[in-house]
């Protein structure tokens, strides 16, 4: 059964279809791995063992009757940010403890339509606000490659569980790098699709103009498979792009001869760790050996991306999180009147980082400050998008690091919010521009920690990213699972 960890979803599905293994056996295998290894990692907030086995039995029944869902019988881990009917959904926050949604998010419904098995809810930074999964109100997830280090965030539980083989694959969300950064730090593949490519209906919102759902997998093939399931138009989401998604798996195996790769000069300056720079140079050389050409490009407004992001995302968070008042659902603290109840509920229910962002967002939206901050940030956001539009006139895809460093130690940046925010310096511009971005493992540093390569594509051009990433993965074979979890 250990070979399962080296297989793609397509290969596992073939075993299931041939009845060489049952979904119940497969699910039991992963539940046993979670029981054995997750006590050290803390990737799962809640393991839904009985629910998973019931779904597995249903999948086996469907397989026996000849059904062929693309994820039929495949056990996945789910970031605790999607409404899932009948299962507690908390966003790793005390304020939503006990909240059981009465409906499924569109992405969950699509996974169910294809027959997936729900292993459990994965840990995250509270309301997806963080870069280290240290802001969860329940537990701190550890990096499987070094348990003294963070796994990245906010989808740290998803990346850690995938890297340690505690699920076949997982899904996360990316607002400023929350799929790509933990995927990079945990040595797995993570994709943030174009804004609007995957429905956000039923996703618990952080920053509505930036949030996007995407897969975290151990290989590029699985990323394509997951995208084929979750991408596409949804009339329930007004920001969903009204056109069908292509077959992403069709991009696998195509060469990249003639592909023009843009190298932004602003992203290869001081501040990058030596080992990260070394792997970036080796990765670019690999692409050139496979027939791609490189061209230097400029993204001059990227230096303002972090400041712009933390104005826009906090403003949107302040608006989105106003709904958590203890009236309709979640935590409710009694008070002497309704205003007192609001105050006590929000004081107890929200963590430190969430409170910080609500206060910042309320400030930048307040009378007298809106023009100075939010309006100005919106204009800079437009300039950042125009930089990418101009760059893509001379290249097909852009290559950068995902993070300037490998995983830092737990607690190292908790008292320095600015240092924490700068963890996403290379990923944030992609969200501000609404572009697709992808992290692919490209090597290990001298401490044995993973390094991720970021591919940035044109709008709706996820297929080309998958094509390039597949070629890269095939040539640059990188260890995907830490030795201790094999």
Burial call 90-120: b when 16+ CB within 10 Å, e when fewer:
bbbbbbbeebebeebbbbbbbbbebbbbbbb
439 is catalytic: no
Q: Identify the active-site residue in 22, 23, 42, 79.
A: 79
- In 96-163 the beta strands, taken as DSSP E runs, fall at 117-122
Would you say 161 and 40 are in contact if contact means Cβ atoms under 8 Å apart?
A: no
| Torsion angle defined by CA atoms of residues 374, 379, 385 and 387, in that order, rounded to the nearest 10 degrees | -130
Do β-strands 437-444 and 450-457 pair in parallel, antiparallel, or remain unpaired?
A: antiparallel
Q: Identify the active-site residue in 136, 137, 154, 199.
A: 154
Q: Identify the active-site residue in 42, 131, 158, 178.
A: 178
Cβ-Cβ contacts under 8 Å for 97 (sequence gap 6 or more) = 88, 90, 330, 331
DSSP letters, 220-239, are HHHHHHHHHHHBS--TT-TT
User: Residue 264: phi, psi to the nearest 5?
Assistant: -75, 120
378 is catalytic: no
CA 159, 190, 133, 98 torsion: positive or negative? negative
Tell me which long-range contacts 65-71 makes (C-beta under 8 A, separation of at least 24): 67/115, 68/17, 69/113, 69/114, 69/115, 70/13, 70/114, 70/115, 70/225, 70/228, 70/229, 71/9, 71/13, 71/111, 71/114, 71/115, 71/116, 71/225, 71/229
178 is catalytic: yes
Residues designated catalytic: 79, 154, 178
């Amino acid at each position: 059964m250990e070979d399962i960890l080296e297989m793609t979803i397509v290969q596992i599905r073939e075993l299931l279809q041939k009845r060489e293994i049952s979904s119940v056996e497969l699910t039991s295998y992963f539940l046993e791995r979670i029981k054995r290894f997750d006590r050290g990692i803390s990737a799962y907030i809640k393991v839904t063992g009985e629910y998973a086995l019931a779904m597995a039995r249903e999948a086996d029944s469907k397989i026996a009757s000849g059904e062929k869902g693309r994820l039929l019988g495949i056990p996945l881990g789910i970031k605790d940010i999607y409404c899932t009917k009948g299962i507690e959904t908390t966003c790793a926050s005390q304020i939503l403890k006990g909240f059981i949604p009465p409906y499924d998010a569109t992405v969950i419904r699509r996974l169910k339509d294809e027959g997936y098995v729900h292993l459990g809810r994965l840990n995250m930074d509270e309301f997806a606000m963080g870069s280290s999964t240290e802001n969860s109100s329940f537990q701190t997830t550890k990096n499987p490659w070094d348990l003294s280090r963070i796994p990245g965030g906010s989808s740290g539980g998803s990346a850690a569980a995938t890297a340690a083989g505690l699920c076949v694959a997982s899904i996360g969300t990316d607002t400023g790098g929350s799929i790509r950064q933990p995927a990079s730090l945990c040595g797995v593949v993570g994709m943030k699709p174009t804004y609007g490519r995957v429905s956000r209906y039923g996703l618990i919102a952080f920053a509505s103009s930036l949030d996007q759902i995407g897969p975290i997998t151990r290989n590029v093939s699985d990323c394509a498979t997951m995208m084929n399931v979750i991408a596409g138009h949804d009339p329930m989401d007004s920001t969903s792009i009204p056109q069908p998604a292509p077959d992403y798996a069709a991009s696998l195996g195509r060469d990249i001869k003639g592909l023009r790769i843009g190298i932004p000069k602003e992203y290869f300056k001081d501040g990058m760790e030596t080992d990260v720079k070394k792997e970036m140079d080796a990765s670019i050389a690999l692409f050139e050996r496979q027939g791609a050409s490189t061209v230097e490009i400029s993204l001059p407004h990227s230096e303002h991306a972090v400041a712009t992001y933390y104005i826009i995302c906090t403003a949107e968070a302040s608006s989105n999180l106003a709904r958590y008042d203890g009236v309709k659902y979640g935590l409710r603290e009694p008070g002497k009147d309704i205003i007192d109840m609001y105050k006590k509920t929000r004081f107890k229910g929200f963590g430190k980082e969430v409170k910080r962002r609500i206060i910042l967002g309320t400030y930048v939206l307040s009378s007298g400050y809106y023009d100075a901050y939010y309006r100005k940030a919106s204009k800079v956001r437009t300039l950042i998008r125009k930089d990418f539009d101009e760059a893509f006139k001379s290249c097909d895809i852009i290559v950068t690091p995902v993070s300037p460093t490998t995983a830092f130690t737990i607690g190292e940046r908790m008292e320095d919010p600015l240092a924490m925010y700068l963890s996403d310096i290379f990923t944030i511009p992609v969200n501000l521009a609404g572009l697709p971005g992808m992290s692919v493992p490209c090597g290990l540093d001298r401490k044995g920690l993973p390094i991720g390569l970021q591919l940035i594509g044109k709008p709706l051009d996820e297929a080309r990213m998958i094509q390039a990433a597949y070629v890269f993965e095939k040539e640059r074979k990188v260890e995907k699972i830490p030795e201790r979890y094999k």
